[in-house]
Structure 1
Amino acid sequence: MPPGPAEQGEQARERATMVRDQLVTRGISDPLVLQAMTEVPREAFVDPGMAGRAYHDTPLPIGHGQTISQPFIVALMAQMAELSPGDRVLEIGAGCGYAAAVYGRITGQVWAVERLPALAARARTALDRSGVGKVAVRCGDGSLGWPQEAPFDAILVAAGSPCMPQSLIRQLADGGRLVAPVGPDAAQQLVRTRRLPDGSLEEDRHPAVRFVPLIGAEGWPDMSGGADDEG
C-alpha cells in the first residue's frame, strides 16, 4: 500500500533534514545533486522493514550480501562525476536502484549493470515505479561495462576493484568522468579519472571509502564457489 499524505509529508521532511545535516554540512554543494537527493524517496528502494532507517547516515543491507550506499556516498559520487542534464550515464552495481534513480533525476538517462539477477529485477521494479527518467538495467559483468551503449559522459562504480577497469576507461566519452573505489578492501580510495580532449587521462583521489568488491573479469574473482545468485 502506498504511503498516505501524512506519511509522505514526514518522509519529505526526513529527506530535507538528511540533505541539510548529512550532505550540505559535509561539502555537497552541487545544486542538481542536492535537488535530486531531496526528491528521490530512498524508502522506496530499501526493504520494508528498513523504511524507518531510510535516511540514517549509514548503508543498509539489501540482501545477497549487498548494501545500499549511505546517502552521503551517493551524493559525493554524483558531485564528483559532475552530472548535468542530458549526460549519458553508466552505473556499475545497480543494487536496489537508488543511486541510478538519483543519477537519472539529474541527467534523464542512465544505463545500469547489476551482477545479481534478483537485484537487477528488484532495481527494475523500483525504478519503473519511481518515474525518474530513462533508466535501463541489465544483468551482467559490470567490470566490462556496457560497450553497446558507449560512450558515456559519466561512469559511476558502486563496488571496489583492485585497479581501474580498462574496459570502463575505454567507454568514456571525450571529457567523460569515471568515479570508482579502487584498492584492497581495507584501503580503498574514491578515484576520479577524466578523459581530456587530447585523449590523455587525468586522475585525482578522494578520501578513503569502503565498498563491496567488484566481481568480474576486470575486478575481483568470485569467491562464492558458484553460489546461486538468486538465493
Structure 2
Amino acid sequence: MAETVTTDETVTTPVAVPELHLDIPGGFHSLGLDLDPEEREEQLWAVAMEIWPHGTDFQREVAFHTYREMAENAVAEKSFYAGFCLGEAPDGRTTTASLIARLDPLDDPDPELSARGLFEALSVNENNTVENIRVPAGPGVLVLCGLEWHSDPQDTAAPSLPLARIDVYLPLPRMRRLLVLSMTTPSLPDLPFYVSLLSKSVHDLTVSSGAAPAAGQEPGDEAVRGDTVAEQVRADFG
C-alpha cells in the first residue's frame, strides 16, 4: 500500500493553509524525517532488521549506518521525505532505488513562467535530458541524468557505481513552494519501472486549497510510448 505524506507548510494567506498530499510508491521504507533523532534511529534499525531478517549483525549495522547517512543528508537539504526500496526483480536481480522530496521557495507565482525558467536553467547542463511535463497539478520539468558514485572521491582508482537520477520540479503557486522529487537508482535496467512509479505519484498529488486549478493547468495529451528511456520518460509523464 502506498504511503501518503502530508505537509502543512505555513503560508501567510487569508484562506486555509494549503496542504500537499503526496502518495509514496508502495514498497518504499521511510527514513523517518518526521521523527526526532532518537526515534529516527530506532526506525532505521527496525528497517535494517526488516531488510536483513536472516543476515549478520555486520550486515544490519552497515545497512543502519547507510540509511542514517541518507537521512542526515536529506535533513540537511530540508527534505520532508526520504525513503528507499529494496526488492527482487523477476529475473532474480536485486533492485533498489531511493526517493527524496522537498519543498523549496517559489520565486515566480506564475507556474508557467516558473517552469519555463527551470527548463532553461536545467538545460544548461549538457548531461541532463530535460523535458517539459504537464500533470493535473500544473506544468513542471523533468530531468534525467547519469551519475557516478565513488567509494572514495579522492581516489580515482576506487570502486565506482553508475547511477541514474530522475528529478521532477513542480511549481505549486498556492503553497508558494516548488516541489522537488528525486529518485535515484543503481538498477539501470529497472529505470523505466521507477520512472513510472514517480510519474504516478506526481500525477496523483493534490494540494488541498478548496479552489479550482488555475487557468491553463489541464493535464496534457498522452504521448506515444517509444523504445528509448527518454521516450519512455516522456510517455509516462504525458
Query: Could you state the TM-score of these two structures normalised by the residue count of structure 2?
Result: 0.28
Identify, as 1 or 2, the structure richer in strand.
Answer: 2
User: Highest relative contact order (Cα 8 Å, sep 6+), 1 or 2?
Assistant: 2
Identify, as 1 or 2, the structure richer in helix.
Answer: 1
The structure with the largest alpha-carbon Rg is 2
